[in-house]
C-alpha cells in the first residue's frame, strides 16, 4: 500500500542549498519512495536561544510503501550520510541537515522517537509556509485544520 507523507527539510551549516538538494536527491533515489512535489526554499531565523546562522527550509511531498518507522529510519540514515551526528548536537542547535517526518497520510503516531503529525507543526511558520505552497488544503490529523488555516492562525489572521 502506498502512503502520502510530507517531510520538512532544513539546513544552516555549510552549503545549505546543496545540503538540501543532496537530501532530497537521496530520498528520491530510494526504491520505496517517489518524490511527488517540493516547495520553494525559504530562509528563516533559527528557533531557540543558541547563537547560530539562518536556516534554509522547505517541505517535500512523497509517496512511499515504507511504514512510518522505516521511513523515519531512512531519513535518519540520510542525515547521517550527509554529516549530521545527532549524538553531538544541542537541541535546536545548528545542523547540516534536518529531515522531519511531519505528516504520514492521516496517521496519528505517538511512539518514542516518532510523533506524527509533528507535535510543533502548528507553531512553526518555517514548516507551514512551504507546506501551504504545496498542500494548502490538506486536512491535518489531530488539528483537524488545513496548513493554510494553521498559518493564518499563527500569524493572528482570522
Per-residue pLDDT tens over the stretch 42-86: 999 888 778 888 999 999 999 999 999 999 999 999 999 998 777
Average pLDDT of the segment spanning 6-18: 96
Whether 95 is catalytic is yes
Q: What residue ranges in the chain does DSSP mark as E strands?
A: 3-11, 33-38, 42-44, 55-64, 98-104, 109-111, 114-116
Please list, residue by residue across 128-152, b when 16 or more beta carbons sit within 10 angstroms of its beta carbon and e when fewer do.
Answer: bbbbbbbbeebebeeeeebbebbbe
In this predicted structure, what is the pLDDT of residue 49?
Answer: 76
Q: Residue 92 above 70 pLDDT?
A: no
Whether 98 is catalytic is yes
In this predicted structure, what is the pLDDT of residue 94?
Answer: 80
User: Which entry of 29, 32, 95, 149 is annotated as an active-site residue?
Assistant: 95
User: Which entry of 29, 32, 69, 84 is annotated as an active-site residue?
Assistant: 84
User: Which entry of 15, 31, 69, 100 is annotated as an active-site residue?
Assistant: 100
Whether 29 is catalytic is no
Model confidence pTM above 0.85: yes
Which CATH number fits the domain that encloses residue 106? 3.30.70.560
In this predicted structure, what is the pLDDT of residue 39?
Answer: 98
Whether 106 is catalytic is no
Q: Residue 88 above 80 pLDDT?
A: no
> Domain total for the chain?
1
For residue 71, whether the previous peptide bond is cis, meaning omega lies within 30 degrees of 0, is no
Least confident of 7-11, 16-20, 151-155: 151-155
User: Which entry of 98, 106, 137, 148 is annotated as an active-site residue?
Assistant: 98
Which residues span the domain enclosing 85?
Answer: 3-154
Q: Residue 107 above 90 pLDDT?
A: yes
User: H-helix or E-strand containing 79?
Assistant: helix 68-81
Amino acid at each position: 500500500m502506498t502512503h502520502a507523507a510530507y517531510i520538512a527539510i532544513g539546513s544552516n551549516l555549510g552549503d545549505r542549498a546543496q545540503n538540501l538538494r543532496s537530501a532530497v536527491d537521496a530520498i528520491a533515489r530510494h526504491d520505496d519512495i517517489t518524490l511527488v512535489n517540493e516547495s520553494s526554499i525559504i530562509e528563516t531565523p533559527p528557533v531557540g536561544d543558541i547563537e547560530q546562522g539562518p536556516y534554509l527550509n522547505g517541505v517535500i511531498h512523497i509517496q512511499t510503501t515504507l511504514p512510518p518507522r522505516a521511513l523515519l529510519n531512512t531519513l535518519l540514515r540520510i542525515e547521517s550520510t550527509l554529516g549530521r551526528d545527532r549524538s553531538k548536537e544541542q537541541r535546536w542547535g545548528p545542523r547540516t541537515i534536518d529531515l522531519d517526518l511531519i505528516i504520514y497520510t492521516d496517521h496519528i503516531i505517538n511512539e518514542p522517537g516518532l510523533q506524527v503529525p509533528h507535535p510543533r507543526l502548528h507553531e512553526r511558520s518555517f514548516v507551514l509556509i512551504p507546506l501551504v505552497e504545496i498542500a494548502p488544503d490538506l486536512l491535518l490529523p489531530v488539528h483537524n485544520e488545513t496548513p493554510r488555516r494553521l498559518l493564518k492562525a499563527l500569524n493572528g489572521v482570522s
